[in-house]
Structure 1
Amino acid sequence: MAGILSRFKDIMSSNINALLDKVEDPMKMIDQYLRNLESDLGKVKAETAAVMAEETKSKRELDECIASINKMQTYAEKALLSGNEADARTFLSKKGELNNKLISIQQTYDIAKENSTKMREMHDKLIKDISQLNTRRDELKAKMAVANTQEKLNKIGSSVNGAIGNMSKFDEMEAKINKKLDTANAMAELNNSQKEENIDDLIAKYDNETKNTSSEIDNELSELKSKLGLDK
């Protein structure tokens, strides 16, 4: 019971939210804290019931003692009215004993009542704290879910950024390849142009050779006609 009372003292003197704010792992710690409080609640209920029963017993003894004192007073008065002073003295003597006993019974009842009041306060406070913790736990679970989702989004964002970086590198490589291809095509075009020019020169060469050959034949034919006298 001492351990429970010690925990209750901490609970009653502290703000429950302040306690939760110190938790490093909210979900695990809050679940464990709730399990401890639920276990304590069962013990406190039993202890509170016992203390309340003690208060009820002390109150009953107190009421019975007061009733007996009043009863002795009444009988003392009746004895005097009946002229029996000795009987009245006996009743008053018993009343004195009861008055002395009443002091002790009153003290016992006051202590029992105080203990019962404290236990009921602790019991009610514990129930209230458990309810607050359950609400706070639900809030923490919701926040934890949001945090986990955000972490996943952050990881996905990092992956996307990495993919974008890779795409940029891919674009650079594509630009280099395109440049190389364009250069190769330009060289091919220049080479084809040079080949065409070579063919034209070659054709002109043979055209010239043909023309030269025809001219030589004409000259030789003219000389032959002159020799034969056929040019007239």
Structure 2
Amino acid sequence: MSFFSRLGNIISGKANKALDKIEDPIEQIDLAIRKREEAINKAKLESASFIGSISQKKTEVRTIQEKIKQYEEGIRKALAAGDEEKATTFLLKKKEFDQEVASLETTIKTLQTTADKVKTNVAALEKEVKELKTKKSELSARYATAKAQSKVNEILTEVNKESHISLSDIEQKVMEAESYAQGLEEFKRPDVDAELSEYLSDNKDASIQDELNKYR
């Protein structure tokens, strides 16, 4: 194995181990979603009280305005009857109610501004949660692929480190085995000289037999 191959395996192995130590980003997304949803629910519960207070104070304003109308009618009747003192009394009371209405309307305006901000912030947070949930699907697939790729790289790195082979060395051993087998084959070839002697010997024996047959 070359120096650069060994170096590549070392770097790959360290990279894979480093990835294993990284906190699971999908769990981080889940945690972020949960925290935002909890914040949304709490914000809605907390704002419900003063949103309800707005409705209550608006009811109070309507009630007081009805009283103001009654005092205005009383002022007109008192003046028509020539009772200016009574008209003045009714007027002073009406002014008190006017001030109360003004104070309530200021409070309502403040509460409504706060409620509107809360609604805007909650809507923004809900939008963010929706985007996180959409993004989670994509990131989950990408993270799973990265983990699988890292595991494959780690397996291949271990294989390269533990079972590296040299094809040239193996080929040389195969060639040596072939040469040895060829050498053994040479010993198996027939001895032509021995075959010739045996053949001649057989023929000689046949000639002698023929000669002996003449004397039979």
CA distance in 1, matches of 2:180, 2:171: 14
Structure 1 residues 133-169: Cα deviation after superposition (integer angstroms, max 9, x where no partner): 2112222112212223333444465577779953x43
- Larger displacement relative to structure 2 (23-32 or 156-165): 156-165
Which residue does 1:76 correspond to in 2? Answer: 75
Which residue does 1:53 correspond to in 2? Answer: 52
CA shift at 1:76, angstroms?
0.8
CA distance in 2, matches of 1:96, 1:136: 59
Which residue does 2:121 correspond to in 1? Answer: 122
CA distance in 2, matches of 1:192, 1:27: 73
Q: For CA contacts below 8 A with separation 6 or more, give which structure has more relative contact order.
A: 2
Structure 1 counterpart of 2:31, one-letter code: Q
Q: Cα–Cα, structure 1 residues 64 and 149, in superposed 2: closer, same or farther, change >3 Å?
A: same
Q: Cα–Cα, structure 1 residues 146 and 72, in superposed 2: closer, same or farther, change >3 Å?
A: same
CA distance in 1, matches of 2:188, 2:148: 63
* Structure 2 residue 208 is the aligned partner of structure 1 residue 182: no
Q: Cα–Cα, structure 1 residues 159 and 112, in superposed 2: closer, same or farther, change >3 Å?
A: same
Structure 1 residues 19-57: Cα deviation after superposition (integer angstroms, max 9, x where no partner): xxxx96421211111222222222122112112111112
Q: Secondary structure at the match of 2:75?
A: helix
Unaligned runs of 5+ in 2: 1-21, 198-216
Structure 1 residues 156-212: Cα deviation after superposition (integer angstroms, max 9, x where no partner): 65577779953x43x5324334236426745984x899xx69979xx8xxxxxxxxx
| Alignment TM-score, normalising by the size of structure 1 | 0.60
- Larger displacement relative to structure 2 (119-128 or 84-93): 119-128
CA distance in 2, matches of 1:67, 1:119: 32
Q: Secondary structure at the match of 2:82?
A: coil
8 Å contact kept, 1:76–1:89: yes
Structure 2 counterpart of 1:92, one-letter code: L
CA RMSD of aligned residues (A): 3.7
Alignment of 1:162-173 (within 5 A): 166=165, 168-169=166-167, 172-173=169-170
Larger radius of gyration: 1
CA distance in 2, matches of 1:192, 1:120: 101
CA distance in 2, matches of 1:146, 1:185: 53
Which residue does 1:99 correspond to in 2? Answer: 98
Alignment of 1:185-224 (within 5 A): 185-186=182-183, 189=186
CA distance in 1, matches of 2:105, 2:188: 126
Q: Cα–Cα, structure 1 residues 33 and 184, in superposed 2: closer, same or farther, change >3 Å?
A: closer
CA distance in 2, matches of 1:157, 1:78: 102
CA distance in 1, matches of 2:184, 2:117: 101
Q: Secondary structure at the match of 1:123?
A: helix
Q: Secondary structure at the match of 1:83?
A: coil
Q: Cα–Cα, structure 1 residues 85 and 160, in superposed 2: closer, same or farther, change >3 Å?
A: same
Q: Secondary structure at the match of 1:92?
A: helix
Structure 1 residues 63-115: Cα deviation after superposition (integer angstroms, max 9, x where no partner): 33333323322221122223332221121111121222233222211111112
CA distance in 1, matches of 2:135, 2:108: 40
* Structure 2 residue 31 is the aligned partner of structure 1 residue 28: no
| Alignment TM-score, normalising by the size of structure 2 | 0.64
Unaligned runs of 5+ in 1: 1-22, 204-232
* Structure 2 residue 133 is the aligned partner of structure 1 residue 134: yes
Q: How many residues align?
A: 176
